[in-house]
Amino acid sequence: NAGVTQTPKFQVLKTGQSMTLQCAQDMNHEYMSWYRQDPGMGLRLIHYSVGAGITDQGEVPNGYNVSRSTTEDFPLRLLSAAPSQTSVYFCASSYSSVPYEQYFGPGTRLTVT
């Protein structure tokens, strides 16, 4: 199994540009989520999904959109990038049952200038 994969690894955007961060998992996990990691603030939940067609907001959802059309994929869209969205983004997945162990992707480092 490839586990949780993320593309791209690095991305530089100009303010106002849009892009999609890709996340895929091959473990048939129902639950998928997106986090951002900023120095001194830990990982914060952006959006999550408990299954195909179901998404919800996390702690810091503003400026981001998600959709989940398949069990495997959970893309994160930045509609109009801002410098405040410079961060490292991690995707995670798990089964929606005990023990709910979370598996993380390798991350995408995004810089918005």
Q: Which is nearer to another protein, 37 or 65 (CB)?
A: 37
46 vs 51: CA distance, rounded Å: 16
Site for another protein in 37-76 (CB under 8 A): 40-45, 48, 50, 56, 58
Tokens of 75: 């893309």
Tell me if 89 contacts another protein by CB under 8 A.
Answer: no
Q: Which is nearer to another protein, 15 or 38 (CB)?
A: 38
* Buried/exposed 32-50: b ≥16 CB within 10 Å, e otherwise: bbbbbeeeeeeeebbbbbe
Tell me if 104 contacts another protein by CB under 8 A.
Answer: yes
Tell me if 14 contacts another protein by CB under 8 A.
Answer: no
Closest to 24 measured CA to CA, from 111, 112, 106, 110 = 106
Binding site for another protein (CB under 8 A): 31, 33, 35, 40-45, 48, 50, 56, 58, 90, 92, 94, 96, 98-107, 109
